Chain A
Amino acid sequence: MKTSDLFQETFLAIIANKVRSGLTILGIVIGIGSVIAMVSIGQGSAKSITDRVESLGTNLLTIMPGSQRGQMVRGGMGSATTLTLEDAEALKTISTVKTVAPTVSSRKQITIKGSNTNTSIYGIDANYFSVKSITLELGIAFSEVQYKSKNKVAIIGPTTRDTLFGENTDPVGQKIRIDGQEYTVIGVSESKGGTGMGSSDDLIYIPLGTAQQYITGSDKLSNISVEVLAADLMDSTEEAISALLLQRHNIASADSADFSIMNQADMLSAMTDMTSTLTLLLGSIAGISLIVGGIGIMNMMLTTVTERTREIGLRKAIGAKRGDISLQFLSEAVTLTFISGIIGILLGWLLSYLVSHFGGITTTISPQSVILAFGVSGAIGIIFGYYPARRAAKLNPIDALRYE
């Protein structure tokens, strides 16, 4: 049997059994399509979360007042007031510390003429922007003089700007009232994405001294951000800081520390853990649909064995060799799987595109999920399309013609 005859036979067989071919294709398409779409959603969300955490700054340790234990009881991180500017100064003596950025924060009512909002006020020092990798969209950062003389100047987040002044306006030079006192806007920070708690888009920065004097009225700090020289020094630096602060606060045991240290890397890995759980979850749903699709294909291929066995007997009776039969059925199974594979990949891609377009979720199609989905359904299609045929090809023609 020549190759061109083989292709013709394959084509005729697929056309002759439209319903069976269609259902087989449908099974594989659903299997492949759903795996690709699901995994792309999972990995897309994982990537966007990791990106966001990374954008908050790398090699970052955040020291917050209040003990790790029982912090709930004491009213949450940052509500206790045990960290001072002197603590922050002292941290600079640790050799692996690159920069120290003490911060004061508080939520206040902001008003301008005709509009008001309630947002977080951050009192920061000159190192803060570099530690948190924040850049400005408009205006300039606070000057040395403004820090020293505790001027009432403010840099506002892009979301806050949008709420107060309208989207994409330039508020530089405008006045806002924080807690009843008038501040001049001198800049707008660049958007870092994200909403809700911990977003660096909806807040107002003012100089640290200004915040301590007019907003909190105390010299205590809300937290200290520490940038460490290198990622592999994070753990040792964390220990050194802990030891230093325990000593300064005259506390004997780390268990009763009146501060806690949060590691950005820990947070990142916690987030990554969470997102990989998400991917795993979506992946297993997809896996289940792949299995269901696979069983469908298997069922399809196996239920037609009786009919195909008769056909095999007939073909052998008129002179087909075992190899001719095997090749024909293999070629049929491969063709069906291949067609379905292409459609399935397109469907998966379309689904993940629709999800990211209308659902607002970032999706990433990974080659592994394509290969996995294609591989599994392809293997099932080929195994269950080919092996029963090969078995039937070993029967003598009369037995095959009588097969029930």
Chain B
Amino acid sequence: MIECKNVSKIYQTTSVETPALKGVSFQIKDGEFVAIMGPSGSGKSTLMHILGALDTPTEGEYFLDGKNVASLSDDELADIRKNKIGFIFQSFNLLPRATVIRNVILPLVYANVVKEEREKKARQALADAGLEETQFDHLSNQLSGGQMQRVAIARALVNDPSLILADEPTGNLDTKTGDIVMGTFQKLNKEQKRTIIIITHEHDVAEYADRIIFIRDGALVEDRENEHKRLGARTK
């Protein structure tokens, strides 16, 4: 259960203040599949970082499962991030100079998953994200944008998070791979009741969701059910 109460975020640089979010309020219940849309620079990523407990609002409150995130300790936040949340960054943020497989294993290391299982889980997650097996041992900074995106997706899903936050997960993928990824999300949502929030520019992609939130200039402008729901390409 996610609840934003009047959330604002103002970026303070030396001379200027940039208000990225201006009093956004909404709720997302467990098991919902939500798409966030809006023009570039409207504050989508900023909102997503707050939802993922990676950043805190400058004003207003954000409750995750009833807990005010700003009041949690650093270690409590770390526990939430590793056990509950799978985050796919717009810019991927892979560990450079580490192999693909190592990048996907890392969340399992911090979550104290036993050694024997890590490799197996990581390989499975990478395969599910559609990455070729031959690339598992490549360094992550030697991949193409689309390949990095798939590694980032695998890393977010490897630990079976109950809340999946994806910042433009299909932005670097061709339509076919994009459909496969969205199909996976839809399946995780329908069959395993995971909460999924994605950011996207494309209406096609947003149509997979049950609900679409529109943001403009840091404010919520529309929040509606998605009538033209679309079913993803079926995966195994």
Q: Which A residues are closer than 8 A to B by beta carbons?
A: 1-2, 4-5, 9, 12, 16-17, 310-311, 313-324, 394, 396-399, 401
Contact = CB atoms under 8 A, between A and B. Distances in A.
Contacts of B89: 317
B107 interface: yes
Contact of A1 (B54, B95, B110): B110
B112 interface: yes
B74 A324 contact: no
Given A317-B93, A396-B55, A322 B74 contact: yes
Given A314-B93, A317-B81, A320-B78, A398 B109 contact: no
A318 B98 contact: no
Nearest to B55: A398
B223 to A, nearest CB: 25
Contacts of B49: 398
The 5 closest A-B pairs by CB, nearest first: A319-B82, A16-B97, A398-B55, A319-B110, A321-B78
A169 to B, nearest CB: 72
Interface residues of B, number: 29
A317 B109 contact: no
Nearest to B54: A397
B195 to A, nearest CB: 18
Given A1-B109, A397-B54, A319 B83 contact: yes
A4 B98 CA distance: 18
Contact of B107 (A4, A311, A319): A319
A319 B111 contact: yes
A401 B92 CA distance: 11
B82 A397 contact: no
A401 B111 contact: no
A321 B54 CA distance: 13
A121 B82 CA distance: 92
B117 interface: no
A401 B89 CA distance: 11
Given A1-B109, A1-B110, A12-B102, A316 B95 contact: no
A8 B6 CA distance: 44
A100 B93 CA distance: 89
B75 interface: yes
B56 interface: yes
B106 interface: yes
7 contacts: A1-B110, A16-B98, A17-B97, A311-B95, A317-B89, A396-B55, A398-B49
A401 B167 CA distance: 15
Contacts of B98: 12, 16
A315 B109 CA distance: 11
Nearest to B118: A5
Contacts of A314: 93-95
Nearest to A316: B78
Contact of A318 (B56, B97, B106): B106
Interface string B47-90: 00100101110000000000000000011001101110001010
A321 B74 contact: yes
Nearest to A16: B97
Contact of B75 (A17, A311, A322, A401): A322
Nearest to A324: B110
Contact of A317 (B54, B97, B112, B115): B54
A278 to B, nearest CB: 48
B155 interface: yes
Contact of B54 (A2, A315, A398): A398
A398 B54 CA distance: 6
Given A5-B109, A318-B106, A399-B55, 18 more contacts: A12-B98, A12-B102, A16-B97, A315-B95, A315-B110, A317-B81, A317-B87, A317-B89, A318-B81, A318-B82, A318-B110, A318-B155, A319-B81, A319-B110, A319-B111, A322-B74, A322-B75, A322-B78
Nearest to B94: A314
A364 B29 CA distance: 75
A401 B93 contact: yes
B87 to A, nearest CB: 6
A12 to B, nearest CB: 7
B139 to A, nearest CB: 9
Interface string B136-175: 0000000000000000000100010000000000000000
Contacts of B112: 1-2
Nearest to B56: A396
A27 to B, nearest CB: 21
Contacts of B74: 321-322, 394
A16 B140 CA distance: 12
